[in-house]
Amino acid sequence: MTITERFLNYVSFDTQSSEETGTTPSTEKQSIFANFLKEELINEGFQDVELDSLGYLYATLPSNTDKNVPTIGFIAHMDTSPDASGKDVKPRIVRNYDGSDIVLSEGVISSTEKFPELLDHIGEDLIVTDGTTLLGADDKAGIAEIVQAMVYLQQHPEIKHGKIRIGFNPDEEIGMGAHHFDVEKFGCEFAYTMDGSEVGEIEFENFNAASAKITINGCSVHPGYAKDKMINAGRVATELVGMLPTDETPETTEGYQGFFHLTSISGSCEKAQLSFIIRDHDREYFESRKTEMQEVVALLNEKYGNNIAKLELHDQYYNMREKVEPMMYIIDIAKQAIEEAGMEAKIKAIRGGTDGAQLSFMGLPCPNIFAGGLNFHGPHEFCPVQSLEKAMMTVVNICKITNEKLEK
């Protein structure tokens, strides 16, 4: 089976996660895919294949070297984003892409003006959607690359490697992917998530992240008799938004710049609710952003009284850099692996987070490597076949180089 065939098979499964259920996995359809993968791994000859009750799938490729090298791991997530449908994905391959706009379906066009990254892949074979769903390369490309790499290593015993563990988890897209990952059972000294985008990228810096939910309880009075009595919760909600910096939002920032992102707002005169995510690469700035949110809520309570605004503030994950930096040789191995696969290694910071960030703070240093897909979470998502192949060979090379360079 080619990696393209494997990937196309995987995306036929609808594995969209949900923030609404409160279960793990958050949707039963993820379990269906997990059970399919379990049987596939058994059939491919993997050892220690285990699917736990929470939908986490683990397996082992045994060592074939006499050297005592570290056990390393590769991780990808099974769910797709709640942002767009993953049901009945209908991919097609645009062979030898010529650089023109791609018509996905009537009225849905991936234009090079809007998506200039298409032009980086002229001459390649692009897997695209039919314009009605996402593709699912985030992160079924990562799963396909890891499985195909392990199969490749089994077929090429001349490539020496230590013990390799693989782990596939649910619910990454709703921030829960690492919460029940059994790091002790996984038993690795370090690992890599295959969950990045463009070829050659390595990521070991990510945002520090928090969520903020504000509930505003107003005072509803007949508008004809409301003077000095009414407190319109909806208007207070918009006032709160206006008190935050207008130039520190996702649409006005890039690179290492952090932001406040209003993800939802709803309400009436009587009650309003707002949800924000707070992000910054710098831990000190991150803490100051949380303090700023607390101060804004305090000012509104001082202005309107009766503690009308209630803030729930929760940290979500932190920048993995502080956990990876003492082990920079794992980044050097990834760089060499990428270069040996014929690419330029590009180290960049993630404007977001991955399971690897949480896993790094759980005792498993875990940088992120490209999986090759682009324009995730929507119908314009695409994945070059050549990127799948290069990512697969990067995994193979990491296993080989670890055996060559590291020994306990």
Smallest Cα–Cα separation from 179: which of 353, 37, 33, 371?
A: 353
383 and 330 share a domain? Answer: yes
CA distances from residue 278 to 28, 242, 246 in whole angstroms, order as listed = 30, 16, 14
Can you give the CATH number for the domain in which 396 is found? Answer: 3.40.630.10
Domain boundary among 290, 317, 344: 317
191 and 214 share a domain? Answer: no
Catalytic residue from among 79, 138, 201, 355? 79
What are the tens digits of pLDDT across the range 241-285? 999 999 999 999 999 999 999 999 999 999 999 999 999 999 999
What are the tens digits of pLDDT across the range 279-317? 999 999 999 999 999 999 999 999 998 889 999 999 988
Give the pLDDT band (50/70/90) at residue 16.
very high
Token digits of residue 269: 């005169």
Question: What is the amino acid identity at position 91?
Answer: P
Helices in 14-77 by DSSP H: which ranges? Answer: 28-43
Domain boundary among 291, 317, 343: 317
The pLDDT of residue 80: 96
401 and 327 share a domain? Answer: yes
364 and 311 share a domain? Answer: no
Domain boundary among 271, 294, 317: 317
Domain count, the chain: 2
Active site residue 254: no
- Compute the average pLDDT of residues 178-196: 96
105 and 152 share a domain? Answer: yes
Report whether 239 contacts 273 (CB < 8 A).
no
243 and 336 share a domain? Answer: no
Please give the model's pTM, rounded to 2 decimal places.
Answer: 0.87
337 and 295 share a domain? Answer: no
Catalytic residue from among 14, 145, 172, 205? 172
Can you give the CATH number for the domain in which 273 is found? Answer: 3.30.70.360
The pLDDT of residue 406: 83
57 and 201 share a domain? Answer: yes
Active site residue 172: yes
312 and 385 share a domain? Answer: no
| Domain membership of residue 382 as a residue range | 3-206+319-405
61 and 175 share a domain? Answer: yes
193 and 61 share a domain? Answer: yes
